[in-house]
A and B are shown apart, each in its own frame.
Chain A
Amino acid sequence: SQQGEEDPQALSIQEGENATMNCSYKTSINNLQWYRQNSGRGLVHLILIRSNEREKHSGRLRVTLDTSKKSSSLLITASRAADTASYFCATQGTGTASKLTFGTGTRLQVTL
């Protein structure tokens, strides 16, 4: 069963605009990760945020984590056409045997 649920399911913006995607999850986590998937390709890791962190940056990416609300957001600033892809959050639970659980993804379309 999916732990993370992304919102919105689909997002269409123009180049230069910011894109924000949200992820909600149900149980306590050790870390939360964001991945990108270009059409027909494998997933590529973007950023990992641990449960004791509130915000991380990587280039044009900004990720926030609110463990009290069990939610995370991914902000892509100054979007480019090359950012067109599906974005997935993945959570790892607190149990020692917990594996990554992926959400259903947000499909981002950046138009010129």
Chain B
Amino acid sequence: NAGVTQTPKFQVLKTGQSMTLQCAQDMNHEYMSWYRQDPGMGLRLIHYSVGAGITDQGEVPNGYNVSRSTTEDFPLRLLSAAPSQTSVYFCASSYQTSGSGVQFFGPGTRLTVL
């Protein structure tokens, strides 16, 4: 099993550009989520999904969109990148639909917005 995979590993954007961060898992987990990690802030939940076709907002959803058309994939879209979105982004999945169980994390995408 590859676990949770994320692409790209690094990305540099200019303010106003849009892009999609890809996330996929091969563990048949229903629950998937996106976090951002900033220095001194820990991880903050952006969006999550409890199954295909179902998404919901986390703590810091503004400026991001998600969709879940399949169990395996959960892409995160930045609509109009801003310097405040410079961060490391992690995708995670869990076998417990509530998201309360063990989280399996991808390797992260380091995004810089100029």
Contact = CB atoms under 8 A, between A and B. Distances in A.
Report whether chain A binds chain B: yes
B90 A92 contact: no
Contact of A48 (B44, B45, B102): B102
Contacts of B53: none
B100 A42 contact: no
Interface in B62-114: 90, 92, 98-108
Contacts of A68: none
Interface stretch (A11-19, A57-65, A75-83, A100-108): A100-108
B64 to A, nearest CB: 16
Interface residues of A, number: 26
A30 interface: yes
Nearest to A5: B42
A102 B58 CA distance: 13
A42 B4 CA distance: 10
Interface string B29-72: 00001010000111111001000000000110000000000000
B102 A43 contact: no
B101 A44 contact: no
A33 B104 CA distance: 12
Interface in A10-56: 30-31, 33, 35, 40-45, 48
A76 B43 CA distance: 23
A98 B48 CA distance: 12
Contacts of B43: 43, 88, 90, 102
Nearest to A89: B42
Given A88-B42, A104-B42, A105-B42, A99 B105 contact: no
Given A2-B42, A98-B100, A102-B44, 17 more contacts: A30-B100, A31-B100, A33-B102, A33-B103, A35-B105, A40-B108, A41-B108, A42-B108, A43-B43, A43-B90, A45-B102, A48-B101, A48-B102, A102-B42, A103-B42, A104-B41, A104-B42
Interface of B: 4, 33, 35, 40-45, 48, 58-59, 90, 92, 98-108
